[in-house]
Amino acid sequence: MFYFDNFYGKKILKSSLLDDCFFTTREFVLTPADRVDLTKEAEENRKLLKEKTECIDIYTAKQIHSANIQVISKDKTFYDNTDALISDIEGSLIILNYADCTPIILYSKKNNIGAVIHAGWRGTEAEITTKTAMKMIKEFNINPCDITALIGPCIGKCCFETDEDVFLKLVKDVKNTELYDYKNNKYYIDLKLLNKNQLLETGIINIDISSYCTCCMSDIFFSYRKEKGKTARHSAVVKIKRG
Ligand SMILES: [Zn+2]
């Protein structure tokens, strides 16, 4: 179950399933992106995050809507052209950033290994969620039953309007009308459900899904579509526990 909490006075979204993971909001911007006016605020927030979580460092990436996945190294904090980060380094904090795309967090408490995924429609089409989960499962020999997954706030089926080209790329099973709505010659696709199905394919069943649409709730989250590209980013944050 998702609930709003606060991180030293700044609103965050958490799930009751995982302690050391959360999604930030407009109140706790870590990446200003096109909102250069928020640069200083983001710098201060990153400093606060680093200090209060006592992490060894923040590890992040230049996201490009790919299916490129990296397992982090302790001495490298920034990853070019990467849309999923996996970490087994105790005390490391991995973050990726979003404005409508789907944020997914994976964590195995038993193995103390976490991942964060950026799945927009292109990443979802490229099955980055399946690929990241499988990499985590295989490279670290994890039982999928030991992984908890959180699907955070993203643009919902209510607002993710597309034409037929994107629809056909994303929805392989057009008979499954749970995945989309069709009205006035437009398709409305459920990115959360598509990514949930990718997780289920890998054997992960412990999944919590946020009900929030970033476009409908752009007072709380950033929305690329609603704000016509001139927006900052909210973030998915995973801290790997110290043993
Ligand atoms: Zn919506």
Positive or negative, the Cα torsion across 126, 129, 132, 138? negative
Q: Is the Cβ–Cβ distance between 125 and 185 less than 8 Å? A: no
Segment 185-212, tens digit of pLDDT: 999 999 999 999 999 999 999 999 999 9
Residues whose beta carbons lie less than 5 angstroms from ion ligand 1: 156, 158-159, 213, 215-216
What's the gap in Å between 158 CA and the centre of ligand 1? Answer: 4
Mean pLDDT over residues 25-46, rounded? 96
E strand spans, the chain: 2-7, 10-15, 18-24, 57-61, 69-71, 78-79, 84-87, 92-98, 102-108, 113-119, 147-151, 161-162, 180-183, 186-189, 206-209, 234-239
What's the gap in Å between 160 CA and the centre of ligand 1? Answer: 7
What's the gap in Å between 212 CA and the centre of ligand 1? Answer: 8
Answer yes or no: is pLDDT of 93 > 90.
yes
What's the gap in Å between 169 CA and the centre of ligand 1? Answer: 21
Residues listed for the chain: 243
Answer yes or no: is pLDDT of 31 > 80.
yes
Domain count, the chain: 1
Segment 147-187, tens digit of pLDDT: 999 999 999 999 999 999 999 999 999 999 999 999 999 99
Band the pLDDT of 243: cuts 50, 70, 90: confident
Q: Which two tokens stand for residue 26?
A: 């407009």
What's the gap in Å between 6 CA and the centre of ligand 1? Answer: 24
H or E, element range at 240: none
Domain holding 118: CATH number?
3.60.140.10
C-alpha–C-alpha distance, residues 34 and 41, integer Å: 14
What's the gap in Å between 52 CA and the centre of ligand 1? Answer: 33
Domain ranges, residue 164: 2-239
Band the pLDDT of 219: cuts 50, 70, 90: very high
